[in-house]
Structures are given as C-alpha cells and as structure tokens.
A and B are shown apart, each in its own frame.
Chain A
Amino acid sequence: MPERPRQLHINVNILQAGVFGGSWRFPGTDPLSSYRLDHYLRIARKAEAALLDAVFLADGAAIRDNIRYRPTSSLEPTIVLTAIARVTERIGLIGTLSSSFNDPFNVARRLATLDQLSGGRAGWNVVTTADAASARNFGLDQAVEHGLRYEIAAEFVEVVRALWRSWEPDALVADRDRGVFADTSKIHAIDHRGAYFAVAGPLNVPRSPQGEPVIVQAGASNDGRALAARIGEVIFTAAGTRAAAQGFYWDVKSRTATFGRRPDDIVILPGLSTVVGSTEAEARQRRELLSELVHPRYAIGRLAGQLGLPEESLALDRPLPFDLLPEPEQAAGSRTFYGIVVETARREQLTVRQLLHRLGGGMGHRIVAGTPEQIADTMIDWVDHGAADGFNVMPDVLPEGFDDFADQVIPELQRRGRFRTGYEGTTLRQHLGLREPDYSRPGGERVHG
C-alpha cells in the first residue's frame, strides 16, 4: 500500500466579519455580526460539517483598533466557545487567553471546564499580550518588557499544566457504603512557589477525555520560539513567503530536542487569509473590492501604529521611510508582524499605497486569492515543502467567504487525498494527531515512553 499522503490540519479563525479592514462593509455582510451568537454558531457548524480541526477565537483585553473604521476584539473566547460546544460534537475549540492579565488557577479551571463540557475539544492559545491599551486596563502604563512577559508566560503555563494534572484519573471513587466520595490520596496539591506565582492547588475539575487542553502558542521572536519548542503543541505563525515559513518550521521543530520532545509533538499552522473565486479573475476582483472597502485613513493609521511611526511620515506614493523605522524592540505591537511588513516592503520595493493594498487592512498574514484549485495547490505546496503542517485559515468575509472555502477548497483537498473525509477521533488532540500527556509522573513533566 502506498503511504497515505500527508494530511493537512485546518482551523478557521472567526475574526469578526472577516480578516480585512473592509470585510464588514462587503455586500451582504452583517456589520455587527461579531456581537451575535448565531454568527459564531453558524460558522462553527459549517466548520464541523467541513471536518476542520478547530475553530479559533483570538482575543485582547482592550479596544486595540480604530473602531471608527472597523470592528475590534469582541466577545471573550471561552464564553463563545462553550456556547459553540453546545451545538457541535467533534470540532476543536481554541481560544486565546492572556498569561499576563489572568491568574493561572482561573485560567486552568475555565479551560478544564471547557474541555469537560466539550468532551475533550479545548485548546488554549497562550499569548503574552504586547499592547499598551490592554496593559492600561490592568494598572500598568505599558506592557511588561518582552523577555519578562515570556518568562512569566513559561511559569504560568507550568502552573496551569500542574493543576490540570493534579487529579489522578481514578481519584473519584463514590463508595456509597463507606460514604467516601473521593480518594484524596489521588488528588494532589501542587504547592507551586515560583518567581511569579504561588498556587497551592489542587484544581477542582478532573481530567478531561483528552487528558488536558491542547497548548497553542504564537510568537516568532527568539523568546517566542523557545517557549513554543518547550510547551507548544500547536504553533500559530505568520509568514509571507514559503522560504520564511520553512525557516521558522525547521527552527522550531529542531529546537524540540532541547526539551526532550519530538518534532511531531508540534503542529505548525501559519495564518492564511483566503479569497476564493470561481475563476482567478473573480477572486482578484473580490480582492480589489475588499481593498477599496478599507478606509485609507484607517489603513495608514494602522500601518503607522504597527511600525511605531508618526502617520505624517507615510506618503502614499513613496516607499516606507526605512531610515525612520524604530528598532523592532521599540515598535509598539507584535514583532512578528513588524518583521513581515518591513521585510515585504523592502524586498518588493513597494510604495506605501502598494503595501497597504498588499496588507488589505488585514492582520499581516499571507493572503491568497484564487480558485479553489489554486488555493489547494499552494496549501499542499507549503506542506510538502516543510513550511507548514496545515493552516489557520482567516476567511476574507464571514460567514460567506468561509462557506466558499468549506464548500470548494475542502472538497478539492479531499479529492487529492490531503484532507480527512470523516473525523477519526472525538477530541482535538486526536484530530491533530497529538499524543495525550504521559501521566506516569503525576503533576510532573511529560515523559516519553
């Protein structure tokens, strides 16, 4: 028998009305959909019918965009994901929760609850939250310094995992005759005392059907990659070119050995903004329309903010003022996107106008516009060339653009034998081909058999 070709892993990122700055203005779109539960339920049901690995909800703890021009971060992910869990049976549920503005006990419990209620479908995207607006809602003037945020995040995750492992599987005995409900010798305090957290434990939620939620991590900086290799099971990343994606993929996978892990303990999923058309021309037209729907004032303001430049320094028909650019460390937001934007502008010698068009008021992730065949081609190409294990798909317009992706791109991938034609498991861990944690040492680190 020939070996089964590599299967893709695909999530849909439900970003308000779509990934672009003008998505909410696209004809037929509900501009306020991000506050309506039905929006999320409809997309999640469609994603489950299309056999996707998971739905993903990003998050931030502040208004982080210019709401004059577009929707911003919206409903808190765990609240929406638990509602989605009510109307779905198989699809994974990944949400972003900040390690900088939460307590590990609360996060461990909320995610363990989501994992219980969904039958083992939860995933946690650990973010350190770089923006000052969020920090100001938690008593700080600006975000904690980058390296320290990652140090805190590493300890945060360690505590959360120890809490998830604080119950042995057979801790609940319910012996009616003796009146013994729990064997407390199998429920362990964690007594964590670290540099940033002191947590006694144990948790009050037992292990889930998948053992514990899947840990997702993003962040391309050196600190981010190190954390990814140490604790990440799924890595969200942003890469504009296949070569850049290959570099990241190889780097993170080869770092796993340092932490006693294997390359396939990690599933790497670059973001991919999709614009599907029945012909290439139609897709390009759609892409044009979406660019036109982005208010130019917004686009310039956002780019200036991302790069840490004053708005006046950007002229539409001139190149980026490279000499004015701050060091990446000084830029306000995510270093990953700073790097991609600057690199793209430099490599392709783009004017600001061209660069804005390229970004589309989107998140800086790679945009692919084309027919279902073309989109399937490029997805497979990346996976076959060691650039990705699959994709975190950010449709151009929601729900409609995702309907097209689910109805046209997914069947194309299936025809080529690259995507499942039925769920093989019931948990997110199973969909992703990830192993359950090894619990041979209760409360301890994962041990390989």
Chain B
Amino acid sequence: MPEQFHVNLSLLTPGQLRTAWRLPERDPFAYLDVGHFRRLARIAEDAKVHAVFLGDSPAAGAIEQAPSSGIDPPILMSHLAATTERIGFVATSTTTYNHPYNLARRYLALDHVSGGRGAVNFVTTYAPDAAANFGWAEPPPKEERYRRATEFLEVVTRLWGSWEEGALVGDQSSGRWADPAKVHAIDYHGEFFDVRGPLSIPPSPQGRPVIVQAGGSEGGLRLAGCFADVVFTVAQTKAKAVAFREDIRRRAVAAGREPEAVKVSLGVVVVTDETEAAARRREHRLYETIAIGSATAAVARGLGLDPADLGPDDLIHRGDLPDQPAGSAPEGFQISTRALLEEGPLTPRQLIYRSAGGGGHRLVVGSGRQVADDLEDWFTAGAADGFTVMGADTGADFENFARHVVPVLQARGLFHRDYEGATLRENYGLPQSGQTARPAVSNGAGRA
C-alpha cells in the first residue's frame, strides 16, 4: 500500500446537503456563479488537492426546494483550467444521452486545454426526467444502459488511441504536418454505435483523459475493471469498503491489468471547522434547513419503499426492504444503506442526518484533526486509495477542509506537500499512458 492517498474535492453547490442554501450567510445562487467556482478551484489548488469534481444529470431535476444540476460540467472545468496550473478536473457526462465521438473529442480537447489534467466520470444516468429530454418515454433498462456504456467506452478509448506516437510531425521545411500512416480508422461496428474514426485530435500531454467510473451495480463494476483509472464508490462501513477495493483490484487483474492501475476513491461527506464544537454547531444548523417530509420521501423511494407508509421517525429494518435493490435509484447508494441496516434498524431521520441529506455517503463531522484521524483510519485499513470529499455545506466545508484537514494530513505524511507532476495521471500515480482492457462482455463486434 502506498503511504499517501489522493483527495478530490467536490464542487457540488450548495453541497451534499442541498438545502444548505437556506443558511443566511450563503449565496443561494452560487451554484450558477462562476466566481464561486473560480474561488473554489483556487483554494483547492493552493491546498494541492488532486482534482475538483462535479457530478451531473442532464435535466432540471427537482428544484422547488433546492438547486439541482446546473451548468455543464466540462464547460465549467475548461473555464477553471485556463487559470490554474496543476489541479485536475473530473467532470461527469452520461453515456446514455451522448455520442462517443462527441465526448471523446470534447474530453480530449479539455485534456489539451488543461495540459493533461482532464478526467471524465462516465455515468449511465437513471433519472427519468433526463430520458425525457432525449426522446425517451422512460430511461432504457439498467442492463441496456450498461451494455451501451461498455460499447461507448470501447469506442472512446479506441478513438483516443487512434493516433500513434510520432503521428504528429510539424516539419516546416519538408511541409509534412502529420504522418497519415500513423493515424488509424477504428472501424467500430457494434450494437449501438458505428464509428469510423480516427479522432480529429492527437493524444494529449497525459495521453488521454483519466477515466472515472462510479456505478456500483454489477454492470458498473465490470466496466470499472476493464476501463476505469479511478472508481468512485460509496460505503458506510469499513468492511464493505475494504471488500469493494479488493473486488475492484481482482477485476482489474482478471482483465489483464495491474492492480495499481485502478484507484478506488471513496466518497465521504465532511462537516469540519476549527473545533469539534464549531463543526457540531454547523451540523445542527444544517439539519434545521432540511424539509424532513420530502427528505423522508426521497429515502423511501431510494430504498424501494412506499413514501406514504414511512414517517421520518419510523424504524426501517433490513427485512422491510425488497429483495433486490430498486431499479429506479443508484445501486451503490442502496447497497451501502442496506449494509448499514444490517447492523440494526434506523429511522429515515437518522439515515438523513448520517449522510447529510440522505445521499448515502458517510458523514464525518469534527475538527481538522478528527477528520484526518478518520481518513487515516480508513486508508490504513485498505478501504481506499483516496477520498472524494463532499462538503455537506460547500460554501464553508470546501475551504475548511483545505485549511483545517489538509495541513494535518501533510504533517502526518499522508498527503503530498506538492504535486508530483504536471498531469493528473502523474499526480494520481497512474500508469503513464493509461491501461484499458477489452471487456469480457464484448461480443467481439467491431474488432479492427
């Protein structure tokens, strides 16, 4: 196990707790304010954080009570890249409602613009309102979404590999700009896509963007084993996290990759401040912003229960849940919550408080030292290669993490004091050109 871990900071605003905008000191419209994001990127780079991250869904979402998805992540990230030097950018895009040629090109462009600091978090998007923006009455079934995602990644990675090293010549005296013999069509023919290629852009300073995968279902894990450089995951118990990391590493090896070629980044929600008491005070003020009724209904829906039957203080037992995770919510969230309930019944209110709003990620509240203790404990247990830290209240917790937690981690030698290299791949400690394998689920269609 390496001695240091990576940290990504989530730009999600107002925060993992979506109702944090109600705090009087917050700008409720910060999630649309580019000045806010510029400031966060600056703070993160000063703290040597590996990357900033933004999740996404291509739909307006439920915004009556709180901000939902807003501006387009890769467009925001390229904007932030223009005046930063080292920090990486992890933007989210869906494979269900995009075309692989477009995303391959857009993210490789981001990778050029940022000098090799780009990453794409591929998701398959289960949200029904997103489907309706792309001509679908309802989202394609999960199994189909992952079949499409697998093809999508195969096309994208082949396009990113369509220029051999040395293809770009740029010799002014002979007039040879490129060597077309080293630029190859991919001639992909699959169930979902037929793509001739090659891509119109050569490789970037880090070869190609870092690939992140976040789905916790079997389809997502298979995809991660083959393609992902980094896997985002959610776990409420250390044992689950350790088992998950071992599973991912096994899958990578089974796909013919090095176990170190895949980094597990564990999501954790943080409320931190100068002292534990200050953090606890903020935590309780944050709870007061929650509309408990609708948050309870969201928990019920996420677990496949009927919202009408569930009050905020009713105990949920593991046995109350349907046998299989509901198809309508992210499986990673459901698995982590089920694991939690196996240890004893909890009420919706407890689940909501425990994950700062009910998103399923583990909440850590405390001083910088306490948060550092927690992360160190999980890291040394083999639960993760690093953490994707989400502020419960981004307006405070993002900067507080940089100011109070990072220096403690650095003093303990758990976090780097400076960036190792110029590219995100170097800073994550990933193999240089990126390593992907052909997915075992591929039916062989489209082989060049």
Tell me the A residues contacting B by CB distance below 8 Å: 22, 24-25, 29, 31-32, 35-37, 41, 60-64, 66-76, 78-80, 82-87, 101-103, 105-106, 109-110, 112-114, 116-117, 133, 136-139, 172, 174, 176, 179-182, 184, 187, 197-206, 293, 295
Q: Which 4 A/B pairs are nearest by Cβ-Cβ distance?
A: A200-B132, A174-B28, A31-B170, A136-B196
Given contact pairs A199-B133, A205-B32, a sample of 8 additional A-B residue pairs in the complex whose CB atoms are under 8 Å apart:
A24-B172, A31-B172, A61-B101, A75-B201, A109-B72, A137-B195, A138-B101, A174-B29
Q: How many angstroms between the C-alpha atoms of A334 and B80 in the bound complex?
A: 36
> Given contacts A31-B170, A86-B82, A204-B70, are A110 and B200 in contact (CB under 8 A)?
no
CA distance A445 to B24 in the complex (A): 39
Contact, CB under 8 Å: A83 / B82:
yes
Q: How far is the CA of A179 from the CA of B63 in the complex (A)?
A: 11
Q: How far is the CB of B30 from chain A (nearest CB, A)?
A: 11
Q: Which of chain A's residues have a CB closer than 8 A to the CB of B113?
A: 37, 75, 79-80, 83
Asked if B109 and A75 sit within 8 Å, CB to CB, the answer is yes
Query: Could you show 28 A-B contacts with beta carbons less than 8 Å apart?
Result: A25-B175, A31-B172, A32-B168, A35-B202, A41-B82, A62-B196, A63-B200, A67-B178, A67-B183, A75-B109, A75-B113, A76-B105, A82-B75, A82-B78, A102-B102, A103-B97, A106-B97, A113-B71, A137-B196, A176-B28, A181-B66, A184-B64, A202-B60, A203-B60, A204-B58, A205-B71, A206-B32, A295-B175
- Docked-complex contact A114 and B75, CB < 8 angstroms: yes
User: Bound state CA distance, A182 and B66, in angstroms?
Assistant: 7
Closest to A16 in B: B177
For residue B45, give the distance in angstroms from its CB to the closest CB of chain A.
14
A residues in contact with B135, CB < 8 Å: 197-199
Q: Are B175 and A176 in contact (CB under 8 A)?
A: no
Note all chain B residues with C-beta closer than 8 A to A83. Answer: 78-79, 81-82, 113
Known: A83-B78, A139-B193, A202-B60. A67 touches B180 (CB 8 A): yes
The residue on A at minimum CB distance from B179 is A68
Tell me the nearest residue of chain B to A70, going by C-beta: B177
Q: Given A37-B112, A87-B83, A187-B60, decide whether A78 and B172 contact each other with a Cβ distance below 8 A.
A: no
Q: Smallest CB-CB separation from A103: which chain B residue?
A: B134
Alpha-carbon separation in the docked complex, A112 to B28 (Å) = 20
Knowing A35-B202, A79-B78, A181-B21, the reply to whether A139 touches B71 (Cβ < 8 A) is no
In the complex, whether B432 has a CB less than 8 A from a CB of chain A is: no
Q: Is B417 an interface residue (CB 8 A)?
A: no
B281 touches A (CB below 8 Å): no
- Closest Cβ of chain A: how far from B344's Cβ, in Å? 31
Interface centre among B59, B178, B197 (most CB of A within 10 A): B178
Closest-CB distance, A141 to chain B (whole angstroms)? 9
Q: When chains A and B are docked, how far (Å) is the Cα of A103 from the Cα of B132?
A: 12
CB of B275 closer than 8 Å to a CB of A: no
| Complex Cα spacing A187 to B70, Å | 14
Instruction: For the complex formed, measure the closest distance between the CB of A246 and the CB atoms of chain B, giving whole angstroms.
Output: 36
Report A-chain residues with C-beta under 8 Å of the C-beta of B19: 179
A173: nearest residue on chain B (CB-CB)?
B28
Q: In the complex, what distance in Å separates the CA atom of A409 from the CA atom of B178? A: 34
- With a cutoff of 8 Å between Cβ atoms, the chain B residues found around residue A67 in the complex are 177-178, 180, 183
Residues of B within 8 A of A137 (CB): 101, 195-197
| Distance (whole angstroms) from the CB of B205 to the closest CB of chain A | 9
Q: Of the candidates B38, B59, B114, B183, which one forms a contact with A63 in the assembled complex, judged by CB atoms under 8 Å apart?
A: B183
Is B198 in the interface zone, CB < 8 Å from A? Answer: yes
Which residues of chain A come closer than 8 Å to B132, judged between CB atoms? 199-200
- Please indicate which of the listed interface residues B34, B78, B168 has the most CB atoms of chain A within 10 Å of its own CB: B78
Number of A-B residue pairs at CB separation under 8 A: 195
- Which of chain B's residues have a CB closer than 8 A to the CB of A295? 175
How many whole Å from B73's CB to the nearest CB in chain A? 9
Cβ-defined contact, A78 with B75, below 8 A? yes
CA–CA, A83 and B41, complex, Å: 14
Name the interface residues of B67-124: CB closer than 8 Å to any CB of A: 67-72, 74-76, 78-83, 97-99, 101-102, 105-106, 109-110, 112-115
Q: In the complex, are the beta carbons of B97 and A79 less than 8 A apart?
A: no
Contacts of A80 in B (CB 8 A): 78, 109, 113
B304-334 with Cβ < 8 A to chain A: none
- B218: Cβ under 8 A from any A Cβ: no
Question: B21-54: contact bitstring with A at CB < 8 Å (1 yes, 0 no)?
Answer: 1101000110010100010000000000000000
Q: Is the CB of A105 within 8 A of B58?
A: yes
Measured CA separation A164–B113 after assembly (Å): 27
- Tell me whether B58 and A106 are in contact (CB under 8 A): yes
Q: In chain B, residues 193-236, which have Cβ atoms closer than 8 Å to a Cβ of chain A?
A: 193-198, 200-202
The answer, yes or no, to whether B61 is at the interface (CB within 8 Å) is yes
Instruction: A85 to B38: give the CA distance in the assembly, Å.
Output: 12
Q: Verify B34–A116 contact, CB threshold 8 A.
A: yes
Residues on the A chain within 8 Å of B24, using CB = 176
Q: CA–CA, A66 to B175, complex, Å? A: 12
B376 at the interface (CB under 8 A from A): no
List B contacts of A82 (CB < 8 A): 75-76, 78-79, 82
B65 at the interface (CB under 8 A from A): yes
CB of A35 within 8 A of CB of B82, answer: no
Whether A293 contacts B64 in the complex (CB less than 8 A), given A24-B170, A205-B71, comes out as no
Q: B32 touches which one: A85, A116, A176 (CB < 8 A)?
A: A116
Beta-carbon nearest neighbor of B14 in chain A? A181
Q: A24-B177, A76-B106 are in contact. Are A138 and B65 (CB under 8 A)?
A: no
Q: Please, which residue of chain B has its CB at the minimum distance from the CB of A109?
A: B72
B76 in complex: contacting residue of A69, A72, A117, A206, CB < 8 Å: A117
Interface centre among B38, B79, B168 (most CB of A within 10 A): B79
The docked-state distance in angstroms from the alpha carbon of A423 to that of B227 is 49
B285 within 8 A of A: no
B262 to chain A, nearest CB (A): 27
Q: Does B129 contact A (CB under 8 A)?
A: yes
Q: Does B291 contact A (CB under 8 A)?
A: yes
Q: Nearest chain-B residue to A293 (Cβ)? A: B175
List residues of chain A with CB within 8 A of the CB of B81.
83
CA distance A66 to B179 in the complex (A): 10
Contact status B110-A79, CB under 8 Å: yes
Is the CB–CB distance between A139 and B194 below 8 Å? yes
Among A22, A68, A179, point to the contact of B176 (Cβ < 8 A). Answer: A68
Nearest to B168 among chain A residues (CB) is A32
**For residue B291, which residue of chain A has the nearest CB?**
A179
Closest to B69 in A: A204
B21 touches A71 (CB 8 A): no
* Min C-beta distance of A106 to chain B, whole Å: 7
Q: How far is the CA of A184 from the CA of B61 in the complex (A)?
A: 11
- A79-B109, A106-B97, A199-B134 are contacts. A32–B170 as well, Cβ < 8 Å? yes
